[in-house]
Amino acid sequence: MKTTAVRLYGKHDLRLETFELPAIGPGEILAKIISDSICMSSFKAAEQGSDHKRVPADIATNPIIIGHEFCGEILEVGSQWADQFKAGDRFAIQPAINEPGNVYAAPGYSFATIGGDATYIIIPEVVMKYGCLLKYQSDAYYFGSLAEPVSCIVGGFHVNYHTTPGSYEHTMGIIEGGNMALLAGVGPMGLGAIDYAIHNPRKPKLLVVTDIDDARLRRAASILTVEEAAKQGVELIYVNTTGIADVPAHLRGLTTDDIGFNDVYVYAPVAAVIEQADKILAFDGCLNFFAGPTNPELSAAFNFYNVHYNATHVAGNSGGNTDDLIESIDMMAKGLIDPSAMITHVGGLNAVVETTLNLPKIPGGKKLIYTHVEMPLTALTAFKELGQTNPFFAELDKLVTANNGLWSPQAEAYLLANAPALDA
């Protein structure tokens, strides 16, 4: 079967190409990709090429397919997995394979026949062996694509840990009923973190979210409201730190008796933000450095007096595990969390190369790609103007407007039924 895919050949060298997939073996699965969400990690892979930890050294002659936040349908199942999967099953992928001796191998970084920015793929045996193919039952494919980034958020909440004086045991997870801060927390991943923080069973009592942009803060507050958080027993405070002379003092002042925060998440790879996070930690506070940097030399000052006397500490995670992905899918299926707020742009496979290479320069949140569609990357906010001359965008604008300006299963269904097909 022929596939059309975006392949990485080297630094800044992404190509949209059509080529032949081999026949599947007994341990493999042939699948159709419907949606893929472009992650900043794909930009980093394109920037670094084979210098990236997950990208093989020989991509110049054996290119890999990029994209690791994807969802689709199974077309053909190798005999080895016929008792577990069948043609027509929808699926999501856990890209963190964690194969012993090869922990960095991952779909979207390391393989020639599997990645999210493709029309058709072959899921290799190693993905199956480690349980990374998950059945997915939902009307919305994009929920399946966003399950992977949501699982990273979930993993961030699970990887934090705390201690008890006099004991050497670590208690995993955030402090229930404690103080939490999300710094630089209204980007796409930050929005998902706010949603999860106020709707998962283990909640903070106080949640402070910072940013330096009023428009982003207003959008976040209109989607994840202070009132909804209060219904869930969480006091949610949005703070624009621009112009505040002493940000750590201001944030600590929002906590009872200036005690500080038990769990602090850094959602931007900025040294100044990391240092703010360090200064607002409570006793036994856990700083989670969530934002993956492109600069391998990124460093920041950290107060080791507080490490010694106040038991402050650092955690971090790159991705979530399979349990985190299952939890994400389950919570979305039950309507407990809705990742739609993360999406600000949609487009077709033809838009992937330019979008990936320029991702940091494109404002907004997640860029959602429908791989069998020919469509320029388009902001949801642009639908209204485009709809004045194009009925397709006019209908999309109606559907998005009806959902508080957010992408929706109804908008996806309309796009898949009416968008121009990809010209391979």
CATH assignment of the domain containing 310: 3.40.50.720
CA–CA separation, 196 vs 153, rounded Å? 8
Does residue 142 lie in a domain region? Answer: no
CA nearest to 148, candidates 403, 368, 382? 368
Token pair in block for residue 106: 């991952």
Across the chain, which distance is largest between two alpha carbons, in Å? 69
Residue 312, pLDDT above cutoff 90: yes
The answer to whether residues 169 and 59 belong to one domain is no
Phi and psi torsions of 272, nearest 5°: -65, -35
358 contact partners, CB below 8 Å, separation of at least 6: none
Return d(Cα 230, Cα 110) in angstroms, integer. 44
Q: Does residue 168 share a domain with residue 132?
A: no
**Tokens of residue 23, six digits:** 């026949």
User: Mean per-residue pLDDT for 408-423?
Assistant: 96
The predicted pLDDT at position 294 comes to 76
Residue 229 has pLDDT above 80, yes or no: yes
Quote the pTM value.
0.87
In this structure, the answer to whether residues 129 and 35 fall within a common structural domain is: yes
Choose among 33, 34, 4: nearest CA to 16: 4
Q: Are residues 189 and 295 in the same domain?
A: yes
Is 90 exceeded by the pLDDT of residue 64?
Answer: yes
Domain ends where: 67, 102, 136? Answer: 136
Q: Do 299 and 215 belong together in one domain?
A: yes
Q: What is the mean pLDDT of the chain?
A: 95
Q: What is the pLDDT of residue 100?
A: 82
Verify that 185 and 228 share a domain, yes or no. Answer: yes
Examine the fold and report which residue of 315, 343, 367 is the final residue of a domain before the chain moves on. 315
Answer yes or no: is 374 within a domain. Answer: yes
Quickly state the pLDDT bin for 318 (edges 50, 70, 90): confident
CA dist 73 and 135 (Å) reads 10
Euclidean distance between CA atoms 100 and 93, whole angstroms:
19
pLDDT at 424: 67
Judge whether 330 lies within some domain: no
- 89 and 211 assigned to the same domain: no
Pairing of strands 343-348, 366-370: parallel
Residue 348 — pLDDT band, cuts 50, 70, 90? very high
Evaluate whether residue 146 is within a structural domain: no
Buried/exposed 261-275: b ≥16 CB within 10 Å, e otherwise: bbbbbbbbbbeebbb
Task: Identify the domain boundary among 85, 101, 136.
Answer: 136
Residue 23 and residue 95 in one domain: yes
Does 368 score more than 90 pLDDT? yes
Mean pLDDT within 60-79:
97
Answer whether residue 254 is part of any domain. Answer: yes
Residue 44 maps to a domain: yes
pLDDT tens column, 369-390? 999 999 999 999 999 999 999 9
The average pLDDT across 334-359 equals 96
Structural domains in the chain (count):
3
* Domain, as residue range, for 96: 2-136
Assess whether 268 and 360 both reside in one domain. Answer: no
